[in-house]
Amino acid sequence: MAAMSRAFRAAVTVPLLVLLAACGPDTSSSGKPQAGAASSAAAPGSAMPSAPASGAVPGGAPAAGASAGAQGAPADPAAHARQVVATLSDADLAGQVLMPYAYGGSATDVDEAAAAGNQTIAGVRTPAEMIAKFHLGGLILVAFTPEDPTGKTNPATNVDNPQQVRTLTDGLQAAARALPGGVPLLIGTDQEYGVVTRVKSGVTLLPSAMTFGAGGKPTLTRGAWRAAGEELAAMGINLDFAPVADTLGPQGNTVIGSRSYGADAKANAAQVGAAVRGIEQAGVAAAVKHFPGHGHTTGDSHEGLPVVRQQLAQWQQQDRPPFAAGIAAGASVVMSGHLDVEALDKGVAATFSHKIMTDVLRTSLGFKGVAITDAMNMAPAMKWPAGEAAVRALNAGNDMLLMPPDLAGARDGILAGLASGSLKRERLVEAVTRILTLKFRLAAKPQPALTTVGSPAHQRAVSAADAAAVTVLRGRCQGPLVTGPITITTSEGRETARADLTAALQAAGLTVQPTGGTIVHLVGYGDKQPDLSPAAAVTVMMDVPTLLAQAKSPTLLATYSSSPLALKALAAVLAGKAKAPGKSPVAVGKLPRTACAK
């Protein structure tokens, strides 16, 4: 933990100064090295290998999340939830709908930098004290990295490696069990993989969603996400804010990008459904996002309110199908987007729209689970004071509020709404009953042992998905794509990707040298035309492949991700040991979606 503490102090100092200067307690992959020491995770996966499920932590401790004092409780999670909700005070109910973040890699032992961050958020020193003070229903684990498109709302870093995360989540659950009702905690994270990945060290890294879209094999998607979910469950994370169900429009969207499975709604629906099934089968709640769809706007909801100008029929054809598929596959959670979808409720952000979050989501799509807001410290949600925004979001139909910018303000606003009648108690009880039903259901699942994390079975499941996605957009389709020694070049800051590809090519029997070889040039998230190399014989895009339309190399490939296993799959294709069966799930200028696959 000493190394974690040193890295944490480095990661937290600058974001905390920015946070304090912004007059608010909460403000909220590239293959480039990541700033900060840690990350956080959540997701399921495995081709079908089932992880060792011990329901106990190493040493025989009870499974994290198991509720205390449950003897005699109804076996049905919904009945149990109703029974407990009937005993909760208004303050307990208000706390259950809140899911903030916290500073510190331990529930109870934090350094002074983390303590200062928690004082700003909640007037406490530790995450455990935050849970106790506000009777919290959930906590999100976060990791600050400057290249992350969600980084503006994630100024803290409290995850590092599987053992640290497991110890942290065990401590958080212990704090929750001491609350009235002994209700377990929802512990979530954005483990989408690709450019939005919280826990990176020691886990099986899935590629981006777009990689699965390029592979076009939902069975592989389901297996990989089950592996990921089993690893999250082993670390004590029971809610993954994934998969992204947004369909990319013709102009794309830089904040979504490779987080989406692609531009075809029907294909995306199959992929989202598969990912949800994998995650949920692993005993982790999947959250499809960003409802009702963030792909058909070029705006970034972290910075303002994007406007989606589709007609209703277009929304139904282009954006609705992946969300409907995720819900049909059993997604426990739907995350609202801070989006002005004019065809559904013009001028109103979806998070605060009863028409969208109740009429469309509940009535039309038939969703019965937990609806959670996108981060409430994003610009469109900060139009009102935290208390008013909380009440508006709950009245719209959200059940849980993610990352409120003023935790006490949100809690007090909910209590004031109950007192004034602007928030009906029945609505709050409905929300908390849904939340507790989900938590009791998740807590009944045995927790895998930490030994499942990074297991060979998980590596195989994810490797199969990576291999299915490699795409040749220009160049040969048979035999080695490069001959003789190879020199790998990259756009600025991609030393990790360079090192991973070097190791993979050498393992495949190829020679890699610093200069003088056939140039294979890597580009990725955020790169533009000046980042291309005119001298490259091969250019590889490790993100949305649209930049390849401007590349002059005779051979163009896409992996859609810079994960180690994605680059291993690339090496096999370059060496002629494997074919490139993938097809780009988005248009790439005048290039074909594939030069090789049928």
Strands (E), 446-511: 471-474, 486-490
Q: Are residues 530 and 383 part of one domain?
A: no
Residue 34 has pLDDT above 50, yes or no: no
Q: Are residues 537 and 474 part of one domain?
A: yes
Average pLDDT over residues 434-447: 97
Pair of tokens at residue 154: 């994630």
Q: Are residues 474 and 437 part of one domain?
A: no
Query: How many Cα atoms occupy the beta-carbon half-sphere of 130 within 13 Å?
Result: 35
Range of the domain at 476: 470-574
**pLDDT tens-digit profile of 301-328?**
666 788 899 999 999 999 999 999 999 9
Q: Are residues 241 and 118 part of one domain?
A: yes
Average pLDDT over residues 475-489: 96
Examine residue 14 and state whether it is found in any structural domain, yes or no.
Answer: yes
**Sheet with 239-240, edge to edge strand ranges:** 138-141, 186-189, 239-240, 285-291, 333-336, 370-372
**pLDDT tens-digit profile of 321-378?**
999 999 999 999 999 999 999 999 999 999 999 999 999 999 999 999 999 999 999 9
Examine residue 453 and state whether it is found in any structural domain, yes or no.
Answer: no
Residues 421-448 as b/e (b if ≥16 CB within 10 A, e otherwise) read eebeeebbeebbbbbbbbbbbbbbbebb
Examine residue 249 and state whether it is found in any structural domain, yes or no.
Answer: yes
- 302, 338, 458, 521: which is the annotated catalytic residue? 302
Q: Which of 181, 260, 348, 367 is nearest to 586 (CA)?
A: 260
Question: Any idea which of 66-75, 176-185, 229-238 has the lowest mean pLDDT?
Answer: 66-75
Whether 338 is a known active-site residue: answer no
Which band of pLDDT confidence, cut at 50, 70 and 90, is reported for residue 156? confident
Whether 406 is a known active-site residue: answer no
Which band of pLDDT confidence, cut at 50, 70 and 90, is reported for residue 11? very low
Q: Specify the amino acid at residue 572.
A: A
CATH of the domain at 500: 3.40.50
Examine residue 45 and state whether it is found in any structural domain, yes or no.
Answer: no
Which band of pLDDT confidence, cut at 50, 70 and 90, is reported for residue 7? very low
Q: Which residues pair with 490 in a beta bridge?
A: 522
Give the total number of structural domains in the chain: 2
Give residue 375's Cα distance to chain centre. 13
Q: Are residues 475 and 422 part of one domain?
A: no
Q: Are residues 395 and 286 part of one domain?
A: yes
Q: Are residues 476 and 377 part of one domain?
A: no
Q: Are residues 184 and 137 part of one domain?
A: yes
How large is the C-alpha radius of gyration of the chain? Answer: 23
Examine residue 579 and state whether it is found in any structural domain, yes or no.
Answer: no
Examine residue 456 and state whether it is found in any structural domain, yes or no.
Answer: no
Residue 47: partners with Cβ closer than 8 Å, 6 or more residues away: 220, 223, 224, 226, 227, 457, 460, 461, 464
Q: Are residues 540 and 392 part of one domain?
A: no
**pLDDT tens-digit profile of 405-432?**
999 999 999 999 999 999 999 999 999 9
Q: Are residues 551 and 434 part of one domain?
A: no
What was the pLDDT predicted at 475? 97
Computed over every residue of the chain, the mean pLDDT equals 88
Examine residue 591 and state whether it is found in any structural domain, yes or no.
Answer: no
What was the pLDDT predicted at 598? 80
**pLDDT tens-digit profile of 113-137?**
999 999 999 999 999 999 999 999 9
Q: Which of 232, 141, 131 is nearest to 184 (CA)?
A: 131
Residue 531 has pLDDT above 80, yes or no: yes
Examine residue 36 and state whether it is found in any structural domain, yes or no.
Answer: no
- 160, 264, 374, 466: which is the annotated catalytic residue? 374
Residues 286 and 293 sit within 8 Å (Cβ to Cβ)? no
Query: How many Cα atoms occupy the beta-carbon half-sphere of 25 within 13 Å?
Result: 23
Q: Are residues 156 and 78 part of one domain?
A: yes
Residue 241 has pLDDT above 70, yes or no: yes
CATH of the domain at 214: 3.20.20.300
Q: Are residues 437 and 327 part of one domain?
A: yes
Alpha-carbon distance values, 257 to 228, 230, 359 (Å): 21, 26, 29
What was the pLDDT predicted at 301? 60
Where is pLDDT greater, at 451 or 45? 451
pTM: 0.87
Question: Helix, strand, coil: what percent of the chain each, to 5?
Answer: 45, 10, 45
What was the pLDDT predicted at 557? 98
- Rounded to whole angstroms, the Cα distance separating 132 from 219 reads 42
